[in-house]
Amino acid sequence: MTTTTLSTYSDYLVIRGGKPLHGKVKISGAKNASLPILFATILSTRDCVVSNVPDLLDVRNTLKLLENLGAKVFFSENRVFVDPSGIKEYKTDERIIRSMRASVLSMGPLLGRFGKAVVALPGGCSIGARPIDQHIKFFRTAGAKVEIKNGYVHLSIKKKRGVHFRFDLVTVTGTENAILYLSSVEEESLLENVALEPEVIDLLNALKKVGVEWELDGRRLKIKGRENPEGFTHSVIPDRIEAGTFMVGAVLTDGEVVLENVCREHLEAVIRKLEEVGGSVQSLGNGKLKVFRKEKLRPSVIETEVYPGFPTDMQAQFMVLLSLAEGESVIKENIFENRFQHAQELNRLGANITVRGNTAYIKGVEKLYGAEVYSTDLRASASLVLAGLVAEGTTFVRDIYHLDRGYERLEEKLRELGAEIERVTD
């Protein structure tokens, strides 16, 4: 597996604000689509090729996990080659699992391939409990024996059969785990109340290439799998959250940015809010969008929702934007508890944000001012970088290893757009 160097825990960003973003930026492939598709290779018997894969910490950890299970992996220029034929192990490495929540997606394919799986309880961002109870409930409904002991989930199943299961709440990774398992079950299954995020659909489209049959009717998914599917070739969809982050950056800095390799239909909720607060988004065709500020920033009320509603992964970025809007704004977080940790850090830069429970109240200020701030999770990191772009003076963003989990070459792309930003290693 060939890679380039990412951050150490001591790395930080130095940002000198006041430079509008101008130019073109190519959006990377979606991390949240790449990971489940890479885990899907566990089910295959032949070589798999996945392209448009971003070079991120979570991706590398996923590939390391596949290697530890016995797969041969090669990663270069955003293209992953996986030979899964040598996978003999069904127990995952605890150190890798604890570093990222998405590693829970190894449960479905391992159980499907071996009839058993031993997977450490997952880690990731510090944004709330994010329990896996829906995953476990599904596996038990499917007929699996599930035990949790010594920090591991132990699953085993004697006979694979079709399943009729309804999720108690919409869960992206829960839906994906169920899909990954059912892709090896040759009887038809029905899942209800499934997640419809573009990343889920991309996983289904990848699995279709190995003979998995599926049909969506609203939030009802019929799926019929295939035992020992052959390999597949697939290109990952663009990252809608990275795109949304650069869109906010263009409007925030009063610049003009053309985004390349984007899918507008995945961004409709973000675009509506961006235009509501004073931005403009124009389609240029061929997967390109031009984004700029059209009017003075206006306040707004935002509630995060499951797709196709406003994404929880964009509320931190919009909080920065609304901090400079004239008037009072409200953001209500309905997906994750404890996801306003960036509010306190934005206040250190001069924002006026009050958090009560799952709601943030934002009073617009005229300016933000540079200071030293600390990242607490992936999207919080992005929001602090955005704030630094418009803050007067110099901003130091610490703990940026979170950024490397979800943004490919973020500071390089920002520099190419005119930002004064550099990464420093102590």
In the chain, where are the structural domains located? 12-28+238-424, 31-235
Q: What pLDDT is attached to residue 5?
A: 46
Query: CA torsion sign, 251 to 255 to 256 to 259?
Result: negative
- Average pLDDT across the chain, whole number: 93
Residue ranges of the chain whose pLDDT lies below 70: 1-9, 99, 123-130
> Do 12-28+238-424 and 31-235 share a fold?
yes
Residues forming beta bridges with residue 258, ordered by sequence position = 24, 290
> Which H or E element spans position 320?
helix 315-323
Q: In the prediction, which pLDDT does 81 show?
A: 98
CB atoms near residue 312 (< 10 Å): 18
- Going by C-alpha positions, the residue among 399, 343, 347 that lies closest to residue 375 is 399
Please confirm, yes or no, whether 48 is among the known catalytic residues: no
**401 is written with which tokens?**
């290893």
Residues 383-422 have pLDDT tens digits of 999 999 999 999 999 999 889 888 999 999 999 999 999 9
pLDDT tens digits, one per residue of 38-51: 999 999 989 999 99
Q: Is 12-28+238-424 CATH 3.40.50.720?
A: no
Using only C-alpha atoms, the chain has a radius of gyration, in whole angstroms, of: 21
Q: What is the pTM of this model?
A: 0.94
Q: Which of 71, 80, 125, 368 is catalytic?
A: 125
CA distance 401 to 348: 21
- Does the 31-235 domain belong in CATH 3.65.10.10? yes
